[in-house]
Amino acid sequence: MLSVPLTDLPFDFRARALHWGSQFIYCAYFEPNDLAYPSGTFDRILAVAATATNTPGTLTALREWLGSAPAAAPVCGFVTYDVKNEVEALSSDNFTELDWPQLHFFRPQVWLHWRTDTLEIYGEEIEGVLAAILAASAPPSTPAQVPPLRSRMPKSEYLRAVAAIREDILNGEVYELNLCQEFYAEQVRLHPAAIFLELNETSPTPFAGFYRWHDHYLLCASPERFLAHHPPTLVSQPIKGTIRRGTTPTEDEQQRFTLLHDEKERAENLMIVDLVRNDLARVAKTGTVRVPELFGLYPFRHVWQMISTVQAELQPGVDLIDVLRATFPMGSMTGAPKIRAMQLIEHYEYSRRGLYSGSIGYVWPTGEFEFNVVIRSLQYRADTNYLSFQVGSAITYDSVPEREYEECLLKAQAMLEVLGVASL
């Protein structure tokens, strides 16, 4: 291990490190943006591997793989929304151009861990690693070349879907359903690391991340924690409730007050909190599931978010795979009840979600782990020049279709800014 005082590093060292790391076929970068957040944030970690290995493709294989060799580094990876098909008797048959593997984890050959005052470098040839990063430049600030974005689900059809879901709710099929839509462009030219840094600057969040898997890239500005395990506590923090920030302090406070007292948003949040409580109870010690914060309001660059915190203590012998089977996909991205909601999502949506609504994260050798919810994210394929992002909102019987569509556009705001797109 090599430890370097942060004061000895250039101001743009993180940008140089990401540019260096993004050249590897496996690259995972987790960015907390030094934001205060209940129960903590991502650690700032950059992990890379240069060679493809036989990595797990299912949860069953992942358990065997994690136990196959002693870990000396954090294992990094992602789980796509389509892992639901392994957890439940479901399928994913909608269109996709992204084609991520169902899940992917890797053991880094080199990894960097930013501490409060120092940078720690682990792995192979660490002296050469530091020299290579210092010799690198920051990613080029060449603007992305993005043709007009198109919607996989035209607005008129989105509005009809919301109306149909309201009928499903009236008929007792679900209480709430998260409906998402894809916007995409073809023949896009961009530098993934540079666009991620711009997105991170435009919309700093506590669970941001960059992930490369071969020619596939995820540029993620997520404000939402899916799961954190700091023994003996397991924490989930679902987000349900969104309103734009005000342009003045007075208007901003009025927006916060409006969200806090919005009965529809509170109902959405409470339904998902109940779902998460039930999910965690499947792997928790009896009587340990609790909700230390309900309807917490947190400001981000563009929006206020309503966030609740659910905690539990894990049963002895429960591992990551047990937890994922009990809780995945996250209730904030499905609806309730979860299985019927996922069946209806497959019916109403036009695009396969893939890594959107999935999770990226890391597992420490101690068994601690941290995973986010992949939202507010760009997905890009450098081999086909296909760019995509998805946005959604929770539909309840009180939903107004036009307002739900406007919420989707609000959540897309930061991504549109970095792409240089004025509107959809």
Q: Residue 303 pLDDT > 80, yes or no?
A: yes
Helix residue spans in 67-154 (DSSP H): 84-87, 126-135
Predicted pLDDT of residue 9: 95
Name the percent of the chain lying above pLDDT 70: 99
Predicted pLDDT of residue 126: 86
- Rounded to whole angstroms, what are the CA distances from 76 to 45, 65, 99, 326, 359? 10, 13, 19, 21, 11
Give the model confidence (pLDDT) of 76-90 as tens digits.
999 999 999 999 999
Predicted pLDDT of residue 129: 94
- Rounded to whole angstroms, what are the CA distances from 12 to 7, 15, 197? 12, 5, 11
Predicted pLDDT of residue 354: 93
Q: Give the confidence band of 200 by pLDDT, cuts at 50, 70, 90.
A: very high
> Tokens standing for 83?
């892992």
Catalytic-labelled residue, pool 182, 198, 224, 268: 224
Predicted pLDDT of residue 27: 98
Q: Give the confidence band of 217 by pLDDT, cuts at 50, 70, 90.
A: very high
- Rounded to whole angstroms, what are the CA distances from 166 to 21, 114, 162, 179, 344? 46, 47, 6, 12, 12
Other Cβ atoms less than 10 A from the Cβ of 16: the count is: 19
Q: Give the confidence band of 124 by pLDDT, cuts at 50, 70, 90.
A: confident
Q: Which CB contacts under 8 angstroms, 24+ apart, belong to 51-54?
A: 51/25, 51/109, 52/25, 52/26, 52/214, 53/106, 53/107
Cβ atoms of 182 and 357 closer than 8 Å: no
Mean of pLDDT values over 107-112: 95
Predicted pLDDT of residue 122: 95
Q: Give the confidence band of 144 by pLDDT, cuts at 50, 70, 90.
A: confident
Predicted pLDDT of residue 68: 80
Give the model confidence (pLDDT) of 233-272 as tens digits.
999 999 999 999 999 999 999 999 999 999 989 999 999 9
> Tokens standing for 55?
């990595």
Cβ atoms of 222 and 207 closer than 8 Å: yes
Predicted pLDDT of residue 36: 86
56-60, 124-128, 339-343, 369-373, range with the lowest pLDDT: 124-128
* Adjacent-strand bridge partners of 236: 310
Predicted pLDDT of residue 140: 81
- Rounded to whole angstroms, what are the CA distances from 178 to 6, 13, 51, 235, 246? 42, 39, 38, 22, 26
Name the percent of the chain lying above pLDDT 90: 85
Using alpha carbons only, give the angle 296, 409, 361 rounded to the nearest 5 degrees: 55
Average pLDDT, whole number, for the chain? 94
List the beta strands (DSSP E) in 164-299: 176-185, 207-213, 216-222, 225-230, 233-237, 239-244, 290-299
Q: What are phi and psi of 194, to 5 degrees?
A: -65, -40
Scored b (16 or more CB within 10 A) or e, 66-78 reads beeeeeebbbbbb
Report the C-alpha gap between 355 and 345 in whole angstroms. Answer: 15
Mean of pLDDT values over 344-348: 97
Is 31 considered catalytic here?
A: no
Predicted pLDDT of residue 72: 82
Roughly what angle, to the nearest 10 degrees, separates helices 13-21 and 192-202? 140
Cβ atoms of 356 and 224 closer than 8 Å: no
Predicted pLDDT of residue 133: 95
Cβ atoms of 288 and 29 closer than 8 Å: no
Evaluate whether residue 81 is within a structural domain: yes
Which residue range(s) make up the domain with 294? Answer: 2-419
Q: Residue 143 pLDDT > 80, yes or no?
A: no
Evaluate whether residue 412 is within a structural domain: yes
Predicted pLDDT of residue 54: 75
> Tokens standing for 152?
């996989």
- For the chain, the domain total comes to 1
Catalytic-labelled residue, pool 182, 198, 240, 265: 240
143-152, 226-235, 393-402, range with the lowest pLDDT: 143-152
Q: Residue 424 pLDDT > 90, yes or no?
A: no
Mean of pLDDT values over 39-64: 91
Report the C-alpha gap between 182 and 283 in whole angstroms. Answer: 34
Mean of pLDDT values over 100-107: 95
Is 240 considered catalytic here?
A: yes
- Rounded to whole angstroms, what are the CA distances from 208 to 205, 211, 225, 354? 6, 10, 10, 18
Q: What are phi and psi of 65, to 5 degrees?
A: -65, -45
- The SS3 call for residue 217 is strand
Pairing of strands 150-151, 176-185: antiparallel
CATH number of the domain at 44, please: 3.60.120.10
Evaluate whether residue 375 is within a structural domain: yes
Mean of pLDDT values over 4-26: 95
Report the C-alpha gap between 145 and 270 in whole angstroms. Answer: 42
75-84, 181-190, 414-423, range with the lowest pLDDT: 414-423
Predicted pLDDT of residue 323: 97
Contacts of 357 (CB under 8 A, 6+ apart): 81, 180, 329, 330, 333, 334, 373, 374, 375, 390
Predicted pLDDT of residue 272: 93
Q: Residue 70 pLDDT > 90, yes or no?
A: no
Q: Residue 71 pLDDT > 90, yes or no?
A: no
Predicted pLDDT of residue 138: 83
Pairing of strands 359-363, 75-79: antiparallel
